[in-house]
Amino acid sequence: MPMLRRMAELRDSNVTATQSTANRPTGSRTTYRTCPLCEATCGLSITERPDGRFTVRGDDQDPFSRGYLCPKGVALGELHSDPDRLRTPLIRRGRTWTEVGWDEAFAEVERLLTPVLAEHGRDAVGAYVGNPVVHNLAASLYGPVLMRALGTGYRFSASTVDQMPKQVSSGLMFGTELSVAIPDVDRTDYLLVLGANPMASNGSLLSAPDLPGRLRKLRRRGGRLVVVDPRRTRTADIADEYLPIRPGTDAALLAAMAHTLFAEGLADPGHAGPHLSGLEELPGALRPFTPEAVAPVCRIPAETIRRLAHELAAAPTAAVYGRIGTTTAGFGTAASWLIDVINTLTGNLDRPGGVLWPKPATGSPNTAGEPGRGRGARIPGSRRTRVRGLSSVFGEFPAAAMAEEIDTPGPGGERLRGLFTIAGNPVLSTPNGERLAAALETLDVMVSLDAYLNETTRYAHVVLPAPSPLARSHYDLVFTSFTVRNVANYSPPSVPLGAHERSEAEVLLRLASIAAGGGASVEQMDALVAAETARRLVADPSSQVFGQDPDELLAAVSGRRFEDRMLDLMLRGGPYGGLSLDVLEKEEHGIDLGPMEPRLPEVLRTPSGKVELAAPQLLAEARRLAGWLEEQREAEGGLVLVGRRQLRSNNSWMHNVPLLSGGSNRCTLQIHPDDALRIGADDGSGVLVRSRVGEVRATAEITATVMPGVVSLPHGWGHGRPGTRAGVAAEHPGVNSNALTDEAPVDPLSGTAVLNGIPVEVLAEP
Ligand SMILES: Nc1nc2c(c(=O)[nH]1)N[C@H]1C(S)=C(S)[C@@H](COP(=O)(O)OP(=O)(O)OC[C@H]3O[C@@H](n4cnc5c(=O)[nH]c(N)nc54)[C@H](O)[C@@H]3O)O[C@H]1N2
Ligand SMILES: Nc1nc2c(c(=O)[nH]1)N[C@H]1C(S)=C(S)[C@@H](COP(=O)(O)OP(=O)(O)OC[C@H]3O[C@@H](n4cnc5c(=O)[nH]c(N)nc54)[C@H](O)[C@@H]3O)O[C@H]1N2
Ligand code: SF4
Ligand SMILES: [Mo]
């Protein structure tokens, strides 16, 4: 068994995938581009060989990633060549798909969409934006243009099955949803990781190529790594200490640690002190959370909770970091807030080696406007979903409400009748995905912009293909807000668009034009968007182009269009002088703009100009948490389900790439030996897993890496359905873990789904 595990580790190992950029075959062409597949933003060298295939290596000269890449990056060439990846638009009539030209596809969109908007209004058509959009320059810039043209309040995205709680807590504390304080992993002396497994995920809301290597370096320089997770992950394996925690209880644990810091006189915010508001309200709010009250609920002993608090306070520098396990939870916003409360109380907010704010070259809401003060975050948002009355958050509704808004008509028959999906697979990625699947079947119009015909897009009436990831410009507009160093790296297309491919900028602008009532050409729409951006930048007192004539600014970038023009405008207007796309084009490996630096108080955009440690919305969450803690004392302990990520997997959509399929990349239900014994399940046997909303048949994997009482199933599986086109994925279909997750409970402030800690029953199959 250890031998097998070691072999699997070697095959999956990040390190063995790293190869040198030397020894290129002759007659081949090499370009450099940032990998768009995860948040690590590795620089890749892409060599197109004479036979038309691609060799992908780490770019040794990338100042940020220095040659690192993981198996997914290697697979980018196969992704490009995948015959199942969509190349032409498709129209569905009944269960029959027809390949059509672009004009015919857009005409079909118009034919289906226009009457729905005319008869039922703007809120009858919604849109769901999936994760790859944030890795896609064109889609992240022009997706919002389509949203505005649709004029709908029914905007959904993967954010509410992911990081929204951190955006809410950061917005309330620091003033903008992108002001997430990032752990300074390269300089810290102590890193406490809760609910994240960067050895598999390569990091999230923490962009750092080769995060596994950076964690090893942290330990090598004498630092300490502590991991809190219901599963002994590979990150736990390389840590100094691993603490199993009962799923869903991180907020209580963190509250008890913060309580300890006050109770024992260890709270000392250091240089952040003068910039804080609400510090004196915290001890009262935290009073119910004694380590003794919390310990039996999270199953971490009281003395360990105290020791963690002591260690964080005593370390020269320290950072607390939480991810999916802390955000896709019933108290996701509270946990996200308490993480930064502890970072503040231990003197680590805005300190090198603690948590800091990057400064992206294209600007951010926290580099715009008046430094140190702003509007702050409006939480909750002003709109409510029709069926459940859930609040909007930063202009969008919870993805967990999508199905019911389609399948539950109001008294006047009002419901969502149309849906756009852009780079999303919510049937596999949102709670109770099978209810959503049934609802999608009833839509009057569904349009998907996607790379595959998959479990979601198979319901669309029109599917528009996304171009190959190698055939577009790339710049990390979003992740430069989360990078552990400030970097700027532009990638031009590595290959031209295929004969039938269209850029996503063009496709989204065309859809926006249709949604707005036709008329405007793509060029007119694009010019409009660019002019609006130019006007915004010259009016911003913090921008490098403040006070310039917008027409002059536009003239300077007039040789470009679409996302390249927008990026050029934003670089010129961003917080660094002298940057433009011309400059980045000459630096094909990217530019290092230095480490994160302290930014208090200039980074703040709260109305008070202070860090709001005790925003009323957050104090209310602390009260709700205290009430819940009371109830937990009597709670019974059945089995609960958590998720997990696998190194050679990427949410739902890369299971069709042969390089990544098979091996350890299996959709199994991990179960502790004690639980397996009780249930009567053997390793490799079939089990039936049942929750309030659904059931799946899975294969049991008996392993002591999950704590007793917890079972784990990865998400993004459940392939091989009729009407999908992904032959390789269909060979190892797995099951949809989101057939089990429940759309009912959400973290109230952020609308984020609870995807971990789902009560389930597991039965051995006869
Ligand atoms: N290889 C690979 N990399 C990826 C992705 C992928 O699918 N595959 N997806 C990308 C995306 S979209 C994201 S958002 C990131 C996510 O990045 P991570 O958050 O690092 O990824 P996960 O592996 O989901 O880690 C979540 C961990 O939380 C644990 N957990 C579950 N419930 C609880 C709980 O209640 N408390 C605590 N403390 N822990 C809990 C799980 O056991 C798991 O180990 O990864 C990105 N990177
Ligand atoms: N149970 C459970 N559920 C989860 C999670 C979990 O941990 N547990 N994690 C959640 C998280 S963190 C996330 S981010 C979501 C992801 O949720 P989604 O974003 O809904 O799902 P993905 O699987 O990332 O699907 C991405 C889709 O985009 C397409 N695509 C890929 N590249 C492009 C492109 O460049 N352009 C276009 N137009 N399309 C493209 C793919 O073919 C695929 O259909 O899942 C969430 N769901
Ligand atoms: S770690 Fe992420 S960014 Fe780096 S090669 Fe792998 S998938 Fe791409
Ligand atoms: Mo995500």
131 CB under 6 A from ligand 1? yes
Q: Do 370 and 288 meet the contact criterion of CB atoms below 8 Å apart? A: no
How far apart CA 152 and CA 515 sit, in angstroms, is 10
Please give the helix or strand (H or E) that residue 538 lies within, else none: helix 522-538
Q: DSSP assignment, residue 47?
A: E
| Burial annotation 483-520 (CB, 10 A radius, 16+ → b, else e) | bbbbbbbbbebbbeeeeebbbbbbbbbbbbbbbbeeeb
The number of the ligand nearest the C-alpha atom of 135 reads 2
| 36 has a pLDDT exceeding 70 | yes
Tell whether the torsion through CA atoms of 224, 230, 232 and 234 is positive or negative: negative
The number of the ligand nearest the C-alpha atom of 665 reads 1
Return the number of other C-beta atoms located less than 10 Å from residue 547's C-beta: 9
Domain assignments of the chain as residue spans, ordered by start: 85-164+380-473+496-519, 184-351+600-625, 636-764
| 23 has a pLDDT exceeding 80 | no
Helices (H), 82-136: 102-120
328 CB under 6 A from ligand 1? no
72 CB under 6 A from ligand 3? yes
For residue 128, give the ligand 2 atom closest to its CA. 20
204 CB under 6 A from ligand 2? no
How far apart CA 253 and CA 299 sit, in angstroms, is 9
pLDDT tens per residue across span 271-328: 999 999 999 999 999 999 999 999 999 999 999 999 999 999 999 999 999 999 999 9
**What would be the CATH architecture of the domain defined by 184-351+600-625?**
3-Layer(aba) Sandwich (3.40)
For residue 70, give the ligand 3 atom closest to its CA. 6
Tell me the CATH class for 636-764.
Answer: mainly beta
pLDDT tens per residue across span 43-83: 999 999 998 899 999 999 999 999 999 999 999 999 999 99
Pocket probe for ligand 1: among 645, 648, 754, the residue whose CB has the most ligand atoms within 8 Å is 645
17 CB under 6 A from ligand 3? no
Q: Ligand 4 mean position to 158 CA, how many Å?
A: 7
Q: Is the peptide bond before 380 cis (omega within 30 degrees of 0)?
A: yes
| 675 has a pLDDT exceeding 70 | yes
How far apart CA 200 and CA 215 sit, in angstroms, is 13
Q: Ligand 2 mean position to 423 CA, how many Å?
A: 7
| 711 has a pLDDT exceeding 90 | yes
Identify the residue whose tokens are 């090499």: 30
Those residues whose C-beta lies under 8 Å from the C-beta of residue 638, and which sit 6 or more positions away, are 709, 759, 760, 761
Pocket probe for ligand 3: among 68, 70, 645, the residue whose CB has the most ligand atoms within 8 Å is 70
Q: Do 174 and 383 meet the contact criterion of CB atoms below 8 Å apart? A: no
CATH 3.40.50.740 fits 85-164+380-473+496-519, yes or no: yes
Pick the closest to residue 198 from 187, 183, 188 (CA basis). 183
Instruction: For residue 127, report the phi and psi dihedrals to the nearest 5 degrees.
Output: -145, 140
Those residues whose C-beta lies under 8 Å from the C-beta of residue 447, and which sit 6 or more positions away, are 109, 112, 113, 418, 419, 420, 421, 460, 461, 462, 463, 464, 511
Instruction: Label residue 53 left, alpha or beta by phi (over 0 means left) and psi (-120 to 50 means alpha).
Output: beta
* Total residue length of the chain: 766
pLDDT tens per residue across span 434-462: 999 999 999 999 999 999 999 999 999 99
Q: Ligand 1 mean position to 643 CA, how many Å?
A: 7
How far apart CA 119 and CA 334 sit, in angstroms, is 42
How far apart CA 343 and CA 601 sit, in angstroms, is 16
363 CB under 6 A from ligand 2? no
Position 332: which residue type?
G
pLDDT category at 26 given cuts 50, 70, 90 is low
Q: Ligand 2 mean position to 719 CA, how many Å?
A: 14
Helix (H/G/I), strand (E/B), else coil: 706: strand
Position 139: which residue type?
A
For residue 247, give the ligand 1 atom closest to its CA. 35
pLDDT tens per residue across span 540-593: 999 999 999 999 999 999 999 999 999 999 999 999 999 999 999 999 999 999
Compute the chain's Rg from CA coordinates: 25
Position 618: which residue type?
L
Q: Ligand 2 mean position to 157 CA, how many Å?
A: 10
How far apart CA 510 and CA 329 sit, in angstroms, is 38
| 20 has a pLDDT exceeding 70 | no
527 burial level (CB within 10 Å; 0-12, 13-18, 19+): middle
Pocket probe for ligand 1: among 202, 229, 641, 664, the residue whose CB has the most ligand atoms within 8 Å is 229
For residue 76, give the ligand 3 atom closest to its CA. 8
Helix (H/G/I), strand (E/B), else coil: 593: strand
Q: Average pLDDT for residues 706-719, to the nearest whole number?
A: 98
How far apart CA 332 and CA 360 sit, in angstroms, is 26
How far apart CA 542 and CA 369 sit, in angstroms, is 6
Those residues whose C-beta lies under 8 Å from the C-beta of residue 451, and which sit 6 or more positions away, are 85, 86, 423, 465, 466, 653
At residue 18, the pLDDT reads 37
Q: Ligand 3 mean position to 14 CA, how many Å?
A: 9
| 14 has a pLDDT exceeding 80 | no
How far apart CA 164 and CA 204 sit, in angstroms, is 13
pLDDT category at 4 given cuts 50, 70, 90 is very low
The number of the ligand nearest the C-alpha atom of 59 reads 3
| 497 has a pLDDT exceeding 50 | yes
pLDDT tens per residue across span 215-245: 999 999 999 999 999 999 999 999 999 999 9
pLDDT tens per residue across span 82-140: 999 999 999 999 999 999 999 999 999 999 999 999 999 999 999 999 999 999 999 99
70 CB under 6 A from ligand 3? yes
pLDDT category at 5 given cuts 50, 70, 90 is very low
| 19 has a pLDDT exceeding 50 | no
At residue 28, the pLDDT reads 86
693 CB under 6 A from ligand 3? no
180 CB under 6 A from ligand 1? no
User: Within 13 Å and on the Cβ side, how many CA atoms surround 130?
Assistant: 24
For ligand 1, atom 46, the nearest C-alpha belongs to 201
| 7 has a pLDDT exceeding 80 | no
Q: Do 147 and 127 meet the contact criterion of CB atoms below 8 Å apart? A: yes
pLDDT category at 192 given cuts 50, 70, 90 is very high
| 400 has a pLDDT exceeding 70 | yes
Q: Ligand 2 mean position to 429 CA, how many Å?
A: 7
750 CB under 6 A from ligand 1? no
Q: Ligand 4 mean position to 72 CA, how many Å?
A: 16
Q: DSSP assignment, residue 480?
A: G
For residue 130, give the ligand 2 atom closest to its CA. 19
For ligand 1, atom 47, the nearest C-alpha belongs to 201
| 13 has a pLDDT exceeding 60 | no
How far apart CA 241 and CA 225 sit, in angstroms, is 7
162 CB under 6 A from ligand 2? yes
Q: Ligand 2 mean position to 395 CA, how many Å?
A: 20
Q: Do 66 and 485 meet the contact criterion of CB atoms below 8 Å apart? A: no
Percent above pLDDT 70 for the chain: 97
